Amino acid sequence: MSNDTLALAQALIARQSITPSDSGCQDILAERLEKLGFHIEKMRFGDVDNLWARRGTSSPVLCFAGHTDVVPTGPIEHWDSDPFIPTIRDNRLFGRGAADMKSSLAAFITAIEAFIAHHSDHLGSIAVLITSDEEGIAVDGTVKVVEALKARGEFLDYCIVGEPTCSDKLGDTIKNGRRGSLSGNLTIMGIQGHIAYPHLAKNPIHLVAPAIAELAQTEWDQGNEYFPPTTWHISNIHAGTGATNVIPGTLNLLFNFRFSTTSTVESLKTKVHQILDKYNLDYELQWELSGKPFLTEKAELADAMRAAISSITTIEPQLSTSGGTSDGRFIADICKQVIEFGPCNATIHKLNENVEIDDLEKLSEIYQLTMDNLLISKDSQSNTTATDNFLDRLKKIFFD
């Protein structure tokens, strides 16, 4: 299995699929899935290629989701090897997308192939959702596929997103949720004037300063068992002409909330406007919601994944909601249980991005065992366990 997963990961890395380009990666995946009896549906929106593949028509539906697009490489000469020529050094696979997330895609496919080879009559359905618009602006990718599926009444029971989630070792972290992201573009109106005649002007920097202080000190919520408290931060602020003797006429400020399920979009917006209005500011504020928070509490999917990880790696994984946004925020609209699990994330978006070769086989085995835990009847699992135990006893008799 490891050689097959490695070979597929290498084939995908060799494709220069810089967002939003897919560069034929989805064709490689679709060809293998079609041989397994999957119905293949290509969904193109704008310049973005999306793949929806499904085997079976009944529930439960277990979906594997991910993306073929990668971030730009930066100066290629700064890499130790060409980022689009998959290279093995020191038992690690190097290349753009090795960790984020072409190794996960390869492990999806080989896990599904191995699972179906042993359980062609499995319960429910297996689905695969792939986009080439996750690393970019994410408007024509997974969100559009989810809208199309929802419109025709197609829902999921479980979804595994193959994002790189682990911190130190494969298996140490499962993401069972993500914070939401809400941004604001705030413009404060003042009156431009000569700095020597301040009574003829209104300085928007001075006017908004008390509001900024209050916004920065506000406790938006206290978080909960799974999420830290919501945070508000300024990411950019600009005012003035560059001259030292001109009071600016306007101030522009960009800010962002990373918020938990304890708050809502409306509660955050309302509180911000209350604070700005309190200081009688003349302002304009445009909002942009990048994604709502989602949370999958401890249930069948998380339990199945945790059991699989523990079995393969002997590590007891921790549930986490840390990090930025992912396409899980869109999928949660049609799926109650969404988790993320993939390789270590130490090198993602960096020069010399890489993944451990040994982790490829383990990752595929974890995905396969998770399918075992969710899509095989208890009677079948018991029979499989009994057969495995019998084979183990024969091995001991003849080879020990």
* pLDDT value for 297: 86
Question: How buried is residue 46: exposed, middle or buried, by Cβ count under 10 Å (0-12/13-18/19+)?
Answer: exposed
Select which of 22, 69, 140, 372 is catalytic: 69
Q: What is the pTM of this model?
A: 0.86
pLDDT at 384: 53
Distance CA 318, CA 174 (A): 6
DSSP run (H or E) holding 259: strand 250-259
Instruction: Give 188's contacts (C-beta < 8 A, 6+ positions apart).
Output: 204, 207, 208, 250, 251, 252, 253, 281, 282, 283
Catalytic residue chosen out of the listed positions 134, 135, 163, 361: 134
- How remote is the C-alpha of 372 from its chain's centroid? 24
The Cα–Cα gap between 22 and 133 comes to 9
Contact 304, 157 (CB under 8 A): no
Q: What is the pLDDT of residues 107-163, one digit of tens each?
A: 999 999 999 999 999 999 999 999 999 999 899 999 999 999 999 999 999 999 999
- Rounded to 10 deg, the angle between the 300-313 and 357-375 helix axes is 140
134 is an active site residue: yes
Q: Which of 318, 312, 365 is nearest to 339 (CA)?
A: 318
Does 69 qualify as catalytic in the annotation?
A: yes
Predicted confidence at residue 260, as pLDDT, reads 92
Which residues of the chain have a pLDDT value below 70? Answer: 1-2, 378-400
Question: Strands, E, within 87-230: which ranges?
Answer: 87-89, 92-94, 125-131, 156-161, 173-175, 177-178, 180-189, 193-194
Q: Which two tokens stand for residue 4?
A: 């097959």
Mean pLDDT, all residues of the chain = 94
Per-residue pLDDT tens for 207-258? 999 999 999 999 999 999 999 999 999 999 999 999 999 999 999 999 999 9
- Give the dihedral of Cα atoms 330, 334, 340, 341; nearest 10 deg: -130
